[in-house]
Amino acid sequence: MTRLMQIAPAIIMAALSALVIFETRHLSYWSDYSPGPAFAPWWIAFIGLLLSALLVFQAFRGTDVWEDAGTTRPGFARAAATFVSLLVFLFLIPYLGLVITSVLVALVIMLAILRRAIVPSIVSALAAGGTIYGIFFWWLQIHLPTGPLGF
């Protein structure tokens, strides 16, 4: 893999991180007793810049360990299927709710795309759905889209 292909994602990530920092500059970083609306975006963008710098450093410092890491047809198909499943996820959230859609899409990704075993996939998908419900609906009491079953 060429050095440019190693550096290009880092440059894109750095540009997006800089854009986030620039666009949130007018928001308050800290409110009276809690983080303000710029707190999380600023830290996420800062970490993105840091990781981008590390990727560029690694590209110039390290040896080319990605020589055999080309894109294969099955790998590209899995990536495309995952992308499509995430688009379907966004489309289904208003109709089925966040929790049910998360469980279903996680199952599709693990069973159909990644070809994992059924029992661990079901357990993982249900754990993800339970975690989403526990954090957003129960703990933080954020009203996210709910489906026909009420969650």
Predicted confidence (pLDDT) at residue 66 exceeds the cutoff of 60? no
Mean pLDDT over the full length of the chain = 89
- Contact, 47 vs 19, CB < 8 A? no
What pLDDT is attached to residue 4? Answer: 80
What pLDDT is attached to residue 149? Answer: 77
d(CA 135, CA 151): 12
Instruction: Count the alpha carbons within 13 Å of 89 in the hemisphere toward its beta carbon.
Output: 16
What pLDDT is attached to residue 65? Answer: 59
Give the torsion sign (CA, 67, 8, 16, 99).
Answer: negative
Average pLDDT estimate for 46-69 = 82
